Amino acid sequence: MKTVDRILATSDLHGQNKRFLDLLGKTKYNSEQDLLIVCGDLIDRGNENLDCLATCEALQKKGAIVLKGNHEQFLEKSLIEMLTTDTWRERPSNDLYYWIHHNGGREMYEEIKRMSYSSCL
């Protein structure tokens, strides 16, 4: 096990990738010397959700620990619905509707819709 100079922890990024990258810069995060722990809620509410996920995936490959929060659980459940039903765009389930309209998932949902439409073209 490698020794680390610092343990840095954050949570509730909520799709704000530029702010997260700015925070990493301000703390002078160095993956060779520091242990970074991201404690969930990477998505929802912000408009850089996919970028935030990609950043966290890249950081995880360099040794960061990325935990799933309740917003990632909402996304996971919603993605299963989107992949296993044909009606999610016209008649979303109550869980999918709640995630989009009451739990901050609207931006992430729109990013997914744009991605799925563009991949069909």
pTM, two decimal places: 0.88
What are the residue ranges of helices labelled H in 27-105?
A: 49-61, 70-84, 94-102
What is residue 57's predicted lDDT score, i.e. its pLDDT?
A: 98
Distant-in-sequence contacts of 32-35, Cβ < 8 A, 24+ apart: 33/4, 33/5, 33/6, 34/4, 34/5, 34/6, 34/7, 34/8, 35/4, 35/6, 35/7, 35/8, 35/63, 35/64, 35/65
CB distance 23 to 10 below 8 Å: yes
What is residue 115's predicted lDDT score, i.e. its pLDDT?
A: 80
List pLDDT tens digits, range 8-30.
999 999 999 999 999 999 999 99
Measure the CA–CA gap between 37 and 64, rounded to whole angstroms: 6
Domain ranges of the chain: 6-67, 70-120
For range 37-64, the mean pLDDT: 97
Residue 102 — very low, low, confident or very high, per pLDDT cuts 50/70/90? very high
